[in-house]
């Protein structure tokens, strides 16, 4: 087994790394890694329905879709992520408990009563410290999870706090649970770097064929290509979302503004605007201009820049319109 700890904190690169160790490296792998501020959404989720768009934008939080299913999670540098890949043909490939046992062992060694509960959660005293997910490719599984070690809990809650009224769809929804940091429960306060080393040393000790491995320049080249061509793109992170209906109403200086959108494969197929605002030229041209446009801020602003918005919405500007769409 190849045991990897890489220094990158780029969320797009790191999620691409998961795909790389699954599909390109022949040997089984164990990998530890950390992301700078990011929301990682499940493969089958409606991305915009999982995030607090305004908060994410204001705090420059990356949003990345992963290969595996499950719910959205918030990552920061206080969060340690682990990935296992394993080849095989038996049903034990999807045994979440087996893959998380080494993590449980280390946390218990540090004095906290970590337990595997439910279908895929690690808990301490009834509060979640980690979620897990898996993706199977041919005869190989990627099993990965995120460990809350010393994350900023306010960011965790705010970044994932969305208005449930805004979206109607059939996507898999994240289920909020009470969460806690591992560092609050262990007997001796240690750094996340020391915790990482303990976990890596433990895995190295229990797998006889394990050895440390560093990505080569050729490895990094392929990972970067995956990052640039897939994981950083709007099409992957937002366009893969299931079809949905969006509705949001805001108060503006010009009155109430209500936006209604039908979105398929990330593209606006229908747009209707309601409210008690006044208009000199009407709003049909604006509604029609949004058709066949990505439900993405830059693309929408580019379309709206072609209009004198004040002629269509009295005392309402482009920023108001964009706010009503996310």
Residues 181 and 305 in one domain: no
| pLDDT band, residue 184 (cuts 50/70/90) | very high
Q: How many domains does the chain have?
A: 2
53 shares its domain with 144:
yes
Same domain, 124 and 261: no
| Average pLDDT of the chain, as a whole number | 89
Domain range enclosing 312: 244-323
What confidence tier does 91 reach under pLDDT thresholds 50, 70, 90?
A: very low
Which of 222, 239, 256 is a domain's end point?
A: 239
pLDDT at residue 34, as a whole number: 96
Per-residue pLDDT at 169: 60
Same structural domain for residues 291 and 150? no
Give the per-residue pLDDT at 172: 52
| 34-43, 94-103, 244-253, range with greatest mean pLDDT | 34-43
Q: What is the pLDDT of residues 128-182, one digit of tens each?
A: 998 888 888 888 999 999 999 999 878 777 888 765 656 666 555 555 568 899 9
CA 10 to CA 195: how far, in whole Å?
Answer: 21
CA 170 to chain centroid, in Å, comes to 18
SS3 at position 224:
helix
- Indicate if 190 and 276 belong to the same structural domain: no
Tell whether 232 and 307 lie within a shared domain: no
Q: What are the residues whose beta carbons fall under 8 Å from the beta carbon of 80, sequence distance 6 or more? A: 32, 33, 34, 146, 147, 149, 192, 195, 196, 199
C-alpha to C-alpha distances, 2 to 42, 186, 197, nearest whole angstrom: 26, 29, 15
Specify whether the CB–CB gap between 268 and 290 falls below 8 A. yes
Q: What is the pTM of this model?
A: 0.80
Name which residue leads in pLDDT, 97 or 38.
Answer: 38
Region 73-81 average pLDDT: 94
Point out the domain boundary residue: 239, 265, 283.
239
CATH label of the domain that carries residue 268: 3.30.390.50
- The first and second tokens of residue 198, run together, are 């303990």
Same domain assignment for residues 117 and 255: no
In order of 53, 126, 166, 248, 280, the CA distances from 275 in angstroms are 22, 46, 16, 11, 14
- Statement to judge: residues 147 and 194 lie in one domain: yes
Q: Are residues 300 and 213 in the same domain?
A: no
- The CATH code of the domain that includes 194 is 3.30.930.10
**Nearest CA to 145 among 207, 213, 199, 224?**
199
DSSP code at position 294: B
* C-alpha span between 5 and 7 (Å, rounded): 7
Q: Are residues 173 and 312 in the same domain?
A: no
Query: Does 248 lie in the same domain as 196?
Result: no
Do 15 and 95 belong to one domain?
yes
Taking only the tens place, the pLDDT of each residue in 44-71 is 888 888 888 889 989 999 999 999 888 8
Average pLDDT value for residue range 101-119: 91
Q: Indicate the residue among 239, 269, 297 that finishes a domain.
A: 239
What confidence tens digit (pLDDT) does each residue in 225-259 have? 999 999 999 889 987 877 888 988 888 998 889 89
Q: How confident is the model at residue 236, as a pLDDT?
A: 93
Higher-confidence residue of 160 and 199: namely 199
């Amino acid at each position: 087994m190849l045991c990897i700890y890489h220094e990158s904190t780029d969320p797009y690169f790191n999620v691409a790394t998961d795909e790389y160790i699954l599909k390109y490296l022949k040997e089984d792998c164990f990998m530890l890694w950390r992301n700078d501020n990011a929301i990682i959404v499940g493969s089958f989720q409606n991305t915009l329905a999982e995030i607090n768009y305004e908060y994410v934008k204001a705090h420059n939080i990356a949003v990345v879709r992963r290969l595996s299913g499950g719910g959205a999670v918030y990552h920061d540098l206080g969060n340690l992520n682990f990935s296992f890949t394993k080849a095989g043909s038996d049903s034990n490939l999807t045994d979440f408990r087996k893959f998380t046992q080494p993590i449980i062992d280390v946390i218990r060694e540090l004095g906290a009563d970590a337990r595997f509960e439910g279908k895929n959660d690690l808990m301490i005293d009834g509060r979640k410290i980690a979620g897990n997910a898996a993706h199977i490719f041919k005869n190989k599984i990627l099993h990965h999870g995120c460990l809350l070690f010393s994350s900023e809990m306010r960011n965790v809650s705010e970044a994932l706090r969305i208005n449930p009224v805004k979206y109607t769809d059939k996507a898999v929804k994240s289920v909020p649970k009470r969460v806690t940091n591992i560092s609050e429960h262990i007997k001796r306060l240690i750094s996340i770097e020391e915790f990482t080393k303990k976990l890596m040393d433990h895995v190295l000790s229990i797998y006889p064929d394990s050895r440390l491995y560093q990505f080569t320049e050729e490895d990094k080249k392929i990972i970067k290509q995956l990052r640039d061509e897939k994981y950083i793109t709007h099409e992957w992170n937002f366009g893969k979302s299931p079809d949905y209906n969006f509705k949001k109403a805001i108060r503006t200086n010009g009155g109430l503004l209500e936006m209604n959108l039908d979105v398929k494969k990330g593209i606006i197929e229908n747009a209707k605007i309601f409210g008690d605002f006044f208009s000199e030229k009407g709003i049909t041209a604006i509604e029609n201009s949004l058709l066949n446009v990505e439900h993405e801020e830059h693309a929408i602003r580019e379309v709206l820049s072609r209009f004198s918005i004040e002629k269509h919405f009295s005392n309402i500007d482009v920023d108001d319109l964009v706010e009503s769409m996310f």
